Amino acid sequence: MEVIKRCIDSASLFLDATLGAADKEGNIFASTDDELIGIKDNSVKPFVLSSDDKTIAGGNTYIKVNHDQKLQAVIFIKGADVVSANYLELLASWIDSAMKEKNVEEEGEGFLKNVLLENELPGDIPLKAREYRIPYTYTRQALLLSFKENYTIEVKTIINEILQPDYSFYILGMDEKHLVIILDLGKFESTEELLNEHGEEDDNKELQIINEIPKKLYDGFSEKLQEPDLHIGVGLIVKTLKDIPKSYREASLALTVGKIFESDKKIMRYNKLGLGRLIYQLPPTLCQMFLAEVFEDDTYEQLDAETLLTIDKFFENSLNGSETSRQLFVHRNTLVYRLDKVEKITGLDLRSFDDAVLFKLASMVRKYLESLETDGTFNPTSNRW
C-alpha cells in the first residue's frame, strides 16, 4: 500500500490528472484528489470479481495491480479515453517496478540480518552481496539502538531524517526493542587507519565525524521525542561485510557492559569499556571469592550513602582531595574524616593508589554480581550460575 501511495504522490507532481487506488472492497486509500480518500468506489468490487485486467466504468479507467500472483489494489484514472488509459498503464508499470525493487530491498535486508546473526556461510556472503548489489569490500560499523519500550515505525523515519543524505546506511530490526544501523563508511578515504583493535584515535577529521554520528542520532531523537529512553552501543570499524557480525557483537557487548558499570551514559563504545569489559568476562564464582577477600564480613554494606558519594567524587577527581572537597561543598577536614572512616571500616586507605585501585575494582565486581542476581543468572548462596 505504501509503495502505491508513494507512486501516486510522485505522479501528481508532473501529471495533471485525477489518479487513485482502492483496496479489494473499493475503499480509496490514495488519490491525487484528497477529497476522494476514504470514499468507497462501487465500481471496484465487480471489477475485482471479474477476470478482466482493465475496465472502464462511470467515466473512470481501472487496472488491477498484482504482485506475487496476488491482487494488491486497483488503480484508476478519471477519464475513459485512450490517453487516460495509456497514463494509467504507465502508472501500473511504475508501481510494478517499485514493488519488485522493494522486494529486492527487503530480501537484501533479510540477507544482512542473517549475516549479523552469522546464519550465512562465509563463502556465500560475497556471492549473495553481489546479488543484492551490496558492496562486499567496504568499511562499515554497527550501531545497536536499544529502546526501553517497543519502537514504532516512526523511529526508522527519524533515523532517515537524521542521517540522510550525508551517510549511507542500512536499518535492521532485530526485535521489538532493538535496531541495528550498519553504517557504510566507504566514502571516508582513510577509514582503515581510523581505529585499530584498541580504538586508538588521532586528530583525523574523518574520525571525528564518524565518532559524532551516534551523538547526532541521540540528539536527533531527543529533539523529536523529547526524552527518549534510548541507549546506543557502538562497535569497531570493520573492512568487509563478513566481518560486520564482529562489530555487531561489540556494539551489543558495549550496551550490556555499559549498562552495568556506566548506566548514566547513553552512548556506549566498545573501545571505551575499560575494566568493565575485563570484569564481565570473569566467572561469577571467581568474582565472588575476590569480593569476599576485599570486603571481609560484608564491610561494604556498612558504608552509608554519604560516604559512598564521597568515594565516587574522590575517584572522579583522580584522588584529588582539594577538588573533591570543593565539588562536595565540604571542608577538607570533613573529607579527611570520611576517608578515615572508610579505612576504619574496610581497611583500605583510598589516598593510597594501590588501595584505591583495589577498592574501585572490588566495587565494580560488586556491581557486576548485583546485575547477575537481578537477571537471575547467578545465585550467590549456591555459587551456581
Is residue 370 within 8 Å of residue 378, measured between CB atoms? no
Of 277, 298, 320, which closes a domain? 277
* Same domain (yes/no): 86, 182: no
| pLDDT one-digit tens code per residue, 45-55 | 999 999 999 99
What's the CATH code of the domain at 263? 3.30.70.120
Whether residue 115 lies inside any domain: the answer is: no
* Same domain (yes/no): 35, 168: no
Instruction: With H, G, I as helix, E, B as strand and everything else as coil, classify residue 335.
Output: helix
Is residue 32 within 8 Å of residue 11, measured between CB atoms? yes
Of 217, 247, 277, which closes a domain? 277
Q: What is the pTM of this model?
A: 0.73
Of 277, 304, 328, which closes a domain? 277
Q: Total structural domains in the chain?
A: 3
| pLDDT one-digit tens code per residue, 203-226 | 567 778 888 999 999 999 988 877
As a whole number of angstroms, the distance between CA 120 and CA 5 comes to 35
384, pLDDT greater than 50: no
Is residue 199 within 8 Å of residue 269, measured between CB atoms? yes
Write out the H or E segment, with its range, that includes residue 269. strand 267-269
Q: Which three cell numbers stand for residue 58?
A: 462511470
* Same domain (yes/no): 67, 100: yes
For residue 140, what are the domain limits?
Answer: 135-277
CA angle 347, 353, 358 (to 5 degrees): 55
As a whole number of angstroms, the distance between CA 236 and CA 269 comes to 8
What's the CATH code of the domain at 64? 3.30.450.20
Is residue 18 within 8 Å of residue 32, measured between CB atoms? yes
| pLDDT one-digit tens code per residue, 78-135 | 999 999 999 999 999 999 998 888 888 888 999 999 999 999 999 999 999 998 889 9
CA angle 62, 63, 67 (to 5 degrees): 150
Q: Please state the rounded mean pLDDT for residues 156-175.
A: 91
Nearest to 24 by CA among 57, 5, 58, 1: 1
Amino acid present at 317? N
| pLDDT one-digit tens code per residue, 228-253 | 789 999 999 999 999 999 999 999 99
* Same domain (yes/no): 12, 79: yes
Whether residue 130 lies inside any domain: the answer is: no
